[in-house]
């Protein structure tokens, strides 16, 4: 290897495309296993930390793998616009879709996400890259990320924030043709804030991130992009201004004129005002109403919020304080500005401003993220269309999917390869060739499941060891058993997610476990927002469960993309217990299904579409309950019944070869139905045909 070796490695590390290639993560892990672990799977940081000369010569096998990755990336970029899926789709976009989101979860090495919304945005961009759909992501680059640990003894969460050095992240400053940094200005109330612009490379597409932590800005403006989580109304309004106004201006600075503006949640809704301002300045519209109306045609809004929550309602005065200058340019007085984000009938001086309503009023197309969520959203927002029956409220749905190359273990991709022609995209869900999955060899399948489980347990053990080291305790190995039925639960600890439902009736649970045909282990991970007292109590309660001698419960710290991937790949059963119909979609169960884990879930979010009697089990039923307590009791009862009479017997029913044939039939059903359908390629295709398409 020559001296440009480090340059070559940097180039590969500088495009997160590597993170979803079959040999990408393995290549960097093998390059330096210790540094890979120490940096949290961050090749950019690995290369910065490496002593001079460390990578000047690579072993021939690594050199060959580097070359293979480099030429695959070159071929991927080269094929842009030539015979790709988007090329053949029939209604190609002639300019990119600008995809706005306050968070993007692409890889564990880029801490710009909190949970499901971010991971979904990341998966959307990756599929767009794979399919060659022109899209550009717009988000914020946060200086700090939220880390949560669990105290010893009580299980009380200890929250802290970790600051990042952007040089060590897979981002690069955007520069103009002269090599100068691109910066945009955004007015925040009476002040102006300077925003830096960063690019994340994702194969054929890019993500632009804005940040305000620059020396030109006064301290109170530098911290606008300090944190994704835990910001108050003032900071959230400011972040929305940077994202919406700054995002549109960054696109203009780069000469990009998007064909569509895709607003994900209300956070970016102010962009519609900036576009109206530009139209007025260009004299493309005579007044603000016309400018907004012209803009509508190109705007798409997706609500991802669980029913009855997540909508960003801000105090009226605070919104006016921050937007009065923009409103003046638009010719809007205080009332006219605020009325854009108010619920019908709320006209009081202090009636709050809801970004979701601004978005819904300013986008020609809108959707929810599962069939059920589409219907719930039509009810939630029906008052905006008072002269229409609920079923005609113009909010449709596109059911979410997950990015298979990122979430499905390489072992499954290998197992499926002989069934379908290699190098061709996987056939669509309705293709009869998917029935071939039933012919996969049971023993091989079972061995794969076990290998993934062992990999998960090794990660859980390593994190436990790290925790003991941090606390200065001697480490007692957890001794997880790969032959035991393992149930996984990893979700945000929002009250509607009911993380403690499994423990609703402790005696009943212990009773069924003690007469079960074999042992059961439960792995739980999750995220609590900073200063969320109710969720903190949930975590403490779960911690108490880990001390139960009968139920084997393990609480795993640090729920991030890496842990989410390992858990959805490694467990036998994926548990989801939202209080119906609160879940918008939920995507972790899709990740599990693609890895042959069976989904045990309330019929909420995507599950009514995914549950076909074979891919998992439905907890409880779909009726409305007189109280939350009654609903919780009924669902817990149904969950215990399923575990006792279906899940446990099926798992432990073995034939002479020691194989659970009935269970494996369901594993195959999950693989064959989840992989092609609940997949972000299908999701991006649906968006292109139904939401982005012109006309």
Ligand X SMILES: *Cc1c(COP(=O)(O)O)cnc(C)c1O
Q: Which residues bind ligand X (CB under 6 A)?
A: 115-116, 119, 491, 559-561, 564, 586-588, 591
Residue 580 Cβ vs ligand X, minimum distance, rounded to whole Å: 14
Q: Which is nearer to ligand X, 303 or 362 (CB)?
A: 303
Question: For residue 578, which of 620, 548, 537, 550 has the smallest C-alpha distance?
Answer: 620
Q: Which is nearer to ligand X, 9 or 561 (CB)?
A: 561
Cα 412 from Cα 302, distance rounded (Å):
32
Q: Which is nearer to ligand X, 288 or 575 (CB)?
A: 575
Specify whether the CB–CB gap between 173 and 181 falls below 8 A.
Answer: yes
Residue 619 Cβ vs ligand X, minimum distance, rounded to whole Å: 15
Q: Is the peptide bond before 581 cis (omega within 30 degrees of 0)?
A: yes
Specify whether the CB–CB gap between 483 and 449 falls below 8 A.
Answer: no
Cα 242 from Cα 100, distance rounded (Å):
12
Q: Which is nearer to ligand X, 239 or 370 (CB)?
A: 370
Residue 362 Cβ vs ligand X, minimum distance, rounded to whole Å: 27
Specify whether the CB–CB gap between 264 and 142 falls below 8 A.
Answer: no
Residue 590 Cβ vs ligand X, minimum distance, rounded to whole Å: 8
Residue 610 Cβ vs ligand X, minimum distance, rounded to whole Å: 12
Residue 497 Cβ vs ligand X, minimum distance, rounded to whole Å: 7
Residue 112 Cβ vs ligand X, minimum distance, rounded to whole Å: 12
Residue 116 Cβ vs ligand X, minimum distance, rounded to whole Å: 3
Cα 659 from Cα 116, distance rounded (Å):
35
Residue 100 Cβ vs ligand X, minimum distance, rounded to whole Å: 20
Q: Which is nearer to ligand X, 212 or 588 (CB)?
A: 588
Residue 115 Cβ vs ligand X, minimum distance, rounded to whole Å: 4
Q: Which is nearer to ligand X, 43 or 586 (CB)?
A: 586
Cα 259 from Cα 94, distance rounded (Å):
7
Cα 41 from Cα 19, distance rounded (Å):
10
Q: Which is nearer to ligand X, 437 or 499 (CB)?
A: 499
Residue 561 Cβ vs ligand X, minimum distance, rounded to whole Å: 5
Residue 591 Cβ vs ligand X, minimum distance, rounded to whole Å: 6
Q: Which is nearer to ligand X, 222 or 491 (CB)?
A: 491
Q: Which is nearer to ligand X, 161 or 652 (CB)?
A: 161
- E strands, 252-363, are 260-264, 299-302, 313-314, 353-354
Tokens representing 125?
A: 């961009």
212 contacts: CB under 8 Å, gap ≥ 6: 193, 194, 195, 196, 221, 222, 223, 224, 225, 242
- E strands, 239-325, are 260-264, 299-302, 313-314
Q: Which is nearer to ligand X, 304 or 453 (CB)?
A: 304
Specify whether the CB–CB gap between 160 and 147 falls below 8 A.
Answer: yes
367 contacts: CB under 8 Å, gap ≥ 6: 300, 301, 302, 303, 374, 395, 396, 397, 398, 690, 691
Buried b (16+ CB within 10 A) or exposed e, 425-442: ebeeeeeeebeebeebeb
245 contacts: CB under 8 Å, gap ≥ 6: 186, 187, 270, 271, 273, 274, 326
Cα 251 from Cα 138, distance rounded (Å):
9
Three-state SS at 616:
strand
Q: Which is nearer to ligand X, 55 or 146 (CB)?
A: 146
4 contacts: CB under 8 Å, gap ≥ 6: none
Residue 366 Cβ vs ligand X, minimum distance, rounded to whole Å: 21
Cα 600 from Cα 598, distance rounded (Å):
7
47 contacts: CB under 8 Å, gap ≥ 6: 6, 9, 10, 13, 55
Q: What φ, ψ does residue 210 adopt, rounded to 5°?
A: -105, 145
413 contacts: CB under 8 Å, gap ≥ 6: 22, 404, 405
**Looking at the chain, how many residues does it have?**
695
Residue 390 Cβ vs ligand X, minimum distance, rounded to whole Å: 26
Q: Which is nearer to ligand X, 607 or 692 (CB)?
A: 607
Q: Which is nearer to ligand X, 339 or 377 (CB)?
A: 377
Q: Which is nearer to ligand X, 313 or 491 (CB)?
A: 491
Q: Which is nearer to ligand X, 333 or 534 (CB)?
A: 534
Cα 597 from Cα 58, distance rounded (Å):
38
* DSSP-based helix, strand, coil % in the chain, nearest 5: 45, 15, 35
Exposure of 525 in the CB half-sphere (CA atoms within 13 A): 25
Residue 374 Cβ vs ligand X, minimum distance, rounded to whole Å: 17
């Amino acid at each position: 290897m020559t001296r440009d070796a480090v340059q070559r490695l940097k180039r590969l590390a500088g495009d997160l495309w590597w993170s979803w290639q079959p040999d990408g993560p393995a290549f960097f892990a093998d390059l330096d296993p210790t540094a890979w672990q120490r940096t949290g799977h961050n090749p950019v940081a690995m290369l910065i930390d490496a002593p001079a000369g460390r990578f000047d010569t690579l072993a021939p096998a690594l050199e060959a793998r580097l070359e293979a990755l480099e030429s695959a990336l070159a071929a991927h970029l080269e094929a842009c616009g030539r015979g790709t899926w988007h090329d053949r789709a029939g209604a190609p976009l002639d300019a990119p879709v600008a995809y706005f989101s306050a968070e993007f979860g692409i890889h564990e090495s880029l801490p710009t996400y909190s949970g499901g919304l971010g991971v979904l945005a990341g998966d959307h961009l990756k599929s767009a890259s794979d399919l060659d759909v022109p899209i550009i992501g717009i988000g914020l680059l946060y200086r700090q990320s939220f880390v949560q640990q669990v105290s010893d003894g009580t299980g009380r969460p200890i929250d802290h924030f970790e600051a990042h050095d952007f040089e060590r992240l897979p981002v690069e400053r955007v520069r103009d043709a002269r090599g100068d940094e691109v910066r945009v200005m955004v007015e925040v109330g009476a002040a102006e804030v300077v925003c830096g612009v960063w690019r994340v490379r994702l194969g054929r597409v890019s993500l632009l991130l804005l940040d305000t932590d620059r020396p030109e800005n006064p301290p109170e403006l530098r911290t606008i992009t300090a944190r994704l989580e835990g910001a108050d109304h003032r900071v959230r309004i400011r972040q929305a201004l940077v994202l919406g106004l700054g995002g549109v201006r960054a696109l203009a600075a780069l000469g990009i004129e998007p064909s569509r503006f895709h607003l994900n949640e209300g956070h970016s809704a102010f962009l519609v005002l900036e576009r109206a301002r530009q139209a007025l300045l260009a004299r493309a519209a005579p007044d603000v109403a016309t400018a907004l109306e012209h803009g509508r045609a190109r705007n798409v809004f997706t609500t991802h919020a669980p029913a009855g929550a997540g909508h960003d309602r801000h105090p009226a005065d605070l919104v006016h304080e921050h937007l009065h200058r923009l409103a003046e340019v638009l010719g809007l007085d205080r009332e006219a500005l605020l009325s854009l984000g108010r619920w019908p009938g709320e006209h009081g001086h202090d009636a709050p401003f809801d970004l979701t309503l601004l978005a819904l009023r300013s986008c020609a197309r809108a959707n929810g993220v599962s069939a059920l969520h589409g219907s719930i959203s039509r009810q939630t927002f029906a008052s905006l269309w008072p002269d229409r029956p609920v079923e005609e409220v113009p909010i449709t749905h596109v059911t979410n999917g997950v990015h298979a190359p990122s979430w499905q273990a390489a072992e499954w991709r290998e197992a499926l390869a002989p069934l379908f022609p290699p190098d061709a995209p996987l056939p669509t869900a309705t293709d009869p060739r998917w029935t071939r999955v039933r012919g996969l060899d049971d023993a091989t399948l079972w061995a794969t499941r076990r290998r993934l489980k062992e990999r998960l347990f090794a990660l859980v053990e390593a994190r436990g060891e790290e925790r003991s080291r941090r606390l200065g305790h001697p480490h007692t190995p957890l001794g997880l058993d790969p032959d035991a039925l393992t149930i996984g639960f990893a979700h945000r600890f929002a009250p509607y997610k009911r993380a403690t439902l499994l423990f609703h009736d402790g005696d009943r649970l212990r009773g069924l476990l003690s007469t079960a045909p074999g042992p059961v282990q439960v792995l739980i991970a999750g995220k609590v927002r900073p200063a969320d007292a109710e969720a903190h109590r949930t975590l403490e309660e779960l911690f108490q469960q880990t001390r139960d001698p009968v139920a084997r419960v393990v609480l795993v710290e640090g729920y991030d993309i890496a842990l989410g991937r390992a858990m959805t790949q490694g467990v036998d059963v994926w548990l989801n217990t939202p209080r119906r119909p609160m879940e918008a979609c939920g995507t972790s169960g899709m990740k599990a299904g693609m890895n042959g884990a069976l989904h045990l879930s309330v019929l909420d979010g995507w599950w009514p579409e995914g549950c076909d009697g074979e891919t998992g089990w439905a907890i409880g039923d779909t009726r409305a309950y007189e109280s939350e307590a009654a609903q919780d009791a009924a669902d817990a009862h149904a969950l215990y019944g399923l575990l006792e009479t279906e899940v446990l017997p099926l798992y432990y029913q073995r034939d002479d070869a020691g194989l659970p044939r009935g269970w494996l039939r369901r594993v195959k059903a999950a693989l064959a139905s989840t992989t092609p359908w609940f997949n972000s390629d299908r999701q991006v295709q649906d968006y292109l045909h139904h939401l982005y398409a012109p006309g």
